[in-house]
Structure 1
Amino acid sequence: MKILIIENEVYLAQSIATKLASLGHDCEILTNIGDVLKCENKDAILLSTGIFGENIYEVIKKFQNSIIILLISYISNDTVSKPIKAGANDYIQKPFMVEELIRKIHHFEEFKNIKKFNEFYVKYLNSKFDNVILPKISLKDVKFPLFINSQDQIYADKIVFLLSQELKKPFEFLSFKDKNTKSIIKNSTIPLYIADFSGLNTAEKDEIFNIIDKKEIIISNTNANNKIPFETITIEDKPNKIYSGDILSIDDYYKSIIISYEKLYSDTELALRLGISRKSLWEKRKKYGINKTK
């Protein structure tokens, strides 16, 4: 990591820099506000709250995308509360062990990376589910445990994804193919999403019914013939056959692709990807009764 140390206690600054450098970090020490504000972006800023007075807020603003840890002599609104409200991440009170400071830096580095991963996967899944058409479902009225009956698990995947955002809770994904799943269910206190229920035999299903009662659990069931004694959402139709796993006719294939991707691509690009002309694309829309959406 590239770390900027803003501290006028020379011995402390050098001690921190030496320890961080020994761990492979690239450190720079500055004590002049002008130099700090001209400095390039860093991964982390170690900022003494007593060095620049009110100008520390300019530093916090400049490095708002960095990890900012305040180096303070005492706790007060001016040294902790206000700077953190302005955008600093955390503080450490002098005197402190450098190892504790390093622990804080690594903690926020990990948190920042997890946040980036989360943003990436949310965007990816939004894109992935964009063409999965669900019936109207009131997520606010969902009761647990919940079974989602559908010939294709992707519909259950989307419901769980949307419900997780609605509840602001992450679900842990499990599969009944894993021998440890039943044990995890019994001991879990967090929301669970479990697949492959249809692969269980009757006795195993009855056992699952007994242990999931009153738990925040969603189960994907691809066999609608199973009798379920809990809240159930059944997706009977397959509005987008491209996900169904069936062997499609040529016409069904073209129809599915056109419906699925006409919002994502222009007519020119969609026709090119299908290996047909724009005129043929127009003729197929007419043949399948597809009205182009804007």
Structure 2
Amino acid sequence: MKILIIENEVYLAQSIATKLGELGHTCEMCTSTKDAISSNNYDVVLLSTNINGQDFNPVIDTFKHSIVILMVSYISNDTVSKPLSAGAKDYILKPFMIEELIRKIDHYQDYEKLKKRNEAYEQYLDYNFQSVNHNQDINNVELPMFISSNFQKYSDAFAFEYAKKKDLAIHFITLNKAKAMNEINSLPQNAIAYIINYQTLKKGDKQKFCELIAGKKVIVSSSDKIEDVKYPVIEIKSESNVFDKGEILPIEDYVKFIVLNYQDKYPDTELSKKLGISRKSLWEKRKKYDIIKKK
């Protein structure tokens, strides 16, 4: 990592830089906040609040995308509370052990990675579910509950939307896994479990499963019709019969479905290529099916 040390005690700054350098980090030092804000290309900023007469807010604002850790000699509103409110991540009290500083740096680096990864997952799910309409009132749902759907994405959309609206963590479990029952048994109380592939269980195992999920925040998905359970069951069907079981869809109906559902995701050149037709044929099929492409 690239680390900036803002400290007017040069000996202390050099000592910190040496120890961090031995661990493979690249360190730069400066003795004033004015010098510090000339560049913002750092992963971590160690900011001493002992530098008298200097405003720390411009530094924190400049490095708002970095991990800013305050190095303080005493705790007060000016040295800790205000800088934390302005966006600093944490503080460490002088004198400190370098191992404790590394622990804080590693903790916040892991946190930032997880936050960015979570944001990417949420954006992907929103994009992936944008064409799904399950037509269910999530506010009146009681858990445990079961979902029967001929299209897995509809069950997925319901479960993840429910967890998001309730602001709860979600655990994903597939009953194809050998240790799925152990995972269900050890679920925390403050989280939702989304469990798929209920249709793969044998009849005797289904009864044990239903006993196991009693009192838990669980959403169970099945691609088969669900019978003989004491919990609420909702059925979500795809608006198109493309995914209905036991039917072979005519080619024309399949092409119509693909054009309707994917024309906003792919340019015409790529969409026609995936369908194995020319762009002219794609245009003709839109005209035939009275499909209007959004601009």
> Shared fold by TM > 0.5?
yes
Q: CA deviation at 1:48?
A: 0.5
AA matched with 2:21: A
Give the corresponding residue for 1:114: 114
AA matched with 1:181: A
| Inter-partner Cα distance in structure 2 for 1:113 and 1:274 | 39
Contact between 2:154 and 2:238, CA under 8 Å: does it hold in 1? Answer: no
Moved more, 7-16 or 60-69: 7-16
Q: CA deviation at 1:94?
A: 0.8
| Inter-partner Cα distance in structure 2 for 1:252 and 1:155 | 21
Which SS does the other structure have where 2:28 is aligned?
strand
| Inter-partner Cα distance in structure 2 for 1:265 and 1:217 | 36
Unaligned runs of at least 5 residues, structure 2: none
Residues 39, 288 of structure 1: CA spacing in aligned structure 2 closer, same or farther, 3 A cutoff?
closer
Give the corresponding residue for 1:171: 170
Counterparts of 1:1-294 in structure 2 under 5 Å?
1-51=1-51, 53-131=53-131, 133-189=132-188, 190-239=191-240, 241=242, 248-265=249-266, 270-271=271-272, 273-293=274-294
AA matched with 2:130: D
Q: Deviations over 1:66-112 (max 9, x none)?
A: 00000001111111110011010000111111110110000000001
| Inter-partner Cα distance in structure 1 for 2:231 and 2:201 | 17
Q: CA deviation at 1:293?
A: 4.8
Q: CA deviation at 1:257?
A: 1.1
Moved more, 68-77 or 115-124: 115-124
Residues 240, 77 of structure 1: CA spacing in aligned structure 2 closer, same or farther, 3 A cutoff?
farther
Q: CA deviation at 1:226?
A: 2.8
Q: CA deviation at 1:175?
A: 1.4
Which SS does the other structure have where 1:24 is aligned?
coil
Q: CA deviation at 1:227?
A: 2.8
Q: CA deviation at 1:241?
A: 2.5
What is the alpha-carbon root mean square deviation over aligned residues? Answer: 2.3
Contact between 1:240 and 1:260, CA under 8 Å: does it hold in 2? Answer: no
| Inter-partner Cα distance in structure 1 for 2:173 and 2:136 | 24
Which SS does the other structure have where 2:220 is aligned?
strand
| Inter-partner Cα distance in structure 2 for 1:243 and 1:21 | 61
Tell me how many residue pairs correspond in the alignment: 293
Which SS does the other structure have where 1:191 is aligned?
strand
Moved more, 242-251 or 142-151: 242-251
Moved more, 26-35 or 89-98: 26-35
Contact between 2:150 and 2:243, CA under 8 Å: does it hold in 1? Answer: no
AA matched with 1:263: D
| Inter-partner Cα distance in structure 2 for 1:292 and 1:38 | 49
AA matched with 1:119: E
Moved more, 112-121 or 269-278: 269-278
AA matched with 1:12: L
Compute the TM-score of the two structures, normalised by the length of structure 1: 0.91
Compute the TM-score of the two structures, normalised by the length of structure 2: 0.90
Which SS does the other structure have where 1:229 is aligned?
coil
AA matched with 1:256: F
Q: CA deviation at 1:211?
A: 1.5
Which SS does the other structure have where 2:56 is aligned?
helix
Which SS does the other structure have where 1:38 is aligned?
coil
Q: Deviations over 1:27-50 (max 9, x none)?
A: 011103332111341000000012
Unaligned runs of at least 5 residues, structure 1: none
Residues 67, 289 of structure 1: CA spacing in aligned structure 2 closer, same or farther, 3 A cutoff?
same
Contact between 1:148 and 1:220, CA under 8 Å: does it hold in 2? Answer: yes
